[in-house]
Structure 1
């Protein structure tokens, strides 16, 4: 997973200092050096009296100078809208999910818009097979990507917690993950979580965060 030799410690993100805060005797808190971007998903907040829920994704650049709201998602009982920018100064919607009327929750028949594509959820975010928890989508580069659910516990039927990791077809290295890689990322059961993005995924951040927003509404896992 880490590109450097086992005995080498490289901390590429300045946000985490020069490595002095780590326990060098343990590798469990080391950030794999191919993750160059970190976005923080804040807990969802209820807004208004109609049950509207908003989630903000904070842009945390490697030099720690940027704490702006990179993305925001607004969810009602019938609609999820994902935008670039904060919900107070929103940009144009990049992704949208219309729940099946009357169901009160997203299903595979929900209508999804992702970028310039619109279709039912099961076609935009496909399952690998009927029983799979993984979901696949086609990125802006035409490559197929897969969000895999990873169980932290030993028994998938009773996991202590889960997270998602994104892979590209024909690439063995992860593109993104919601795994908590340091103690600063909080506990696995927390509603908030980090989104680490590798260099290969920098040009498709919108797709990475938007598909996560859809999947977390459809089937929370992080």
Structure 2
């Protein structure tokens, strides 16, 4: 969905390329213009004696040449540590100590997000008993909700699901992991995206950290 008049093409950031990847004849391949930043996720890598799994989140500069690591998440046994920057030198921002049952993490896992620590079910709350959505309160006091969106049978974008972040009283989504253009790869590719709207830039750490925790706790892709 594009939030500009029909026939209007707006590219607010060159990080999405020079426009050549867009199919101008179809608005379905256009990025909604309220998304102003994109981060790419590398596939998880296993390393070390204890087989730690690390996922790196790559910055995308306006000219698409920045390959620096914005965030990293390392999971060793039952501990997930999320850092701002590289996995060996970045500043710790969030973590999850998984409390398993039947081999799977549970809502009784202990999560630290920014300066808050508590049970996962209290930090990332279910919106209701049957819902797959999870909400958290940002440092601005606003409640945000990650919702799983079912894609359906789309041969161009074969993942079964993606996540989109909403906020109370916001007209448009705050962030999404939807693959909006052909340059966005699948979950097995480096170019697996996170798009962030301008309203989400001030809570970017929280957006990526909560996504990393939820994807490890309950992967959204089949």
Q: Distance in 1 between matches of 2:141 and 2:102?
A: 33
Q: Which residue of 1 aligns with 2:208?
A: 209
Runs of 4+ in 1 over 4 A off after TM superposition: 101-104
Segments of structure 1 that go 5 or more residues without pairing to the other structure are none
Cα deviation, residue 114, structure 1: 0.3
Q: Which residue of 1 aligns with 2:148?
A: 149
Cα deviation, residue 160, structure 1: 5.3
Q: Distance in 1 between matches of 2:21 and 2:104?
A: 43
Q: Which residue of 2 aligns with 1:15?
A: 15
Change (3 A) 1:218 1:191: farther
Q: Distance in 2 between matches of 1:12 and 1:31?
A: 10
Q: Which residue of 2 aligns with 1:131?
A: 130
Q: Which residue of 1 aligns with 2:89?
A: 89
> How far does the alpha carbon of each residue in 1:11-66 deviate from its partner, in whole angstroms, 9 at most, with x for none?
12212333233221122221111111000111000011212100100011233242
Cα deviation, residue 176, structure 1: 0.3
Q: Which residue of 2 aligns with 1:196?
A: 195
Q: Which residue of 2 aligns with 1:115?
A: 114
TM-score normalised to the size of structure 2? 0.91
Tell me if the contact between 1:78 and 1:104 (Cα under 8 Å) persists in the aligned partners: no
Tell me if the contact between 2:167 and 2:174 (Cα under 8 Å) persists in the aligned partners: yes
Q: Distance in 1 between matches of 2:66 and 2:189?
A: 22
Tell me if the contact between 1:95 and 1:112 (Cα under 8 Å) persists in the aligned partners: yes
Q: Distance in 2 between matches of 1:101 and 1:21?
A: 44
Cα deviation, residue 104, structure 1: 4.7
RMSD over equivalenced CA pairs, Å:
1.8
Change (3 A) 1:60 1:160: closer
Change (3 A) 1:219 1:77: same
Q: Which residue of 1 aligns with 2:173?
A: 174
TM-score normalised to the size of structure 1? 0.91
**What is the number of equivalent residue pairs in this alignment?**
216
Q: Distance in 1 between matches of 2:21 and 2:135?
A: 37
Q: Distance in 1 between matches of 2:207 and 2:31?
A: 19
Q: Which deviates more, 93-102 or 178-187?
A: 93-102
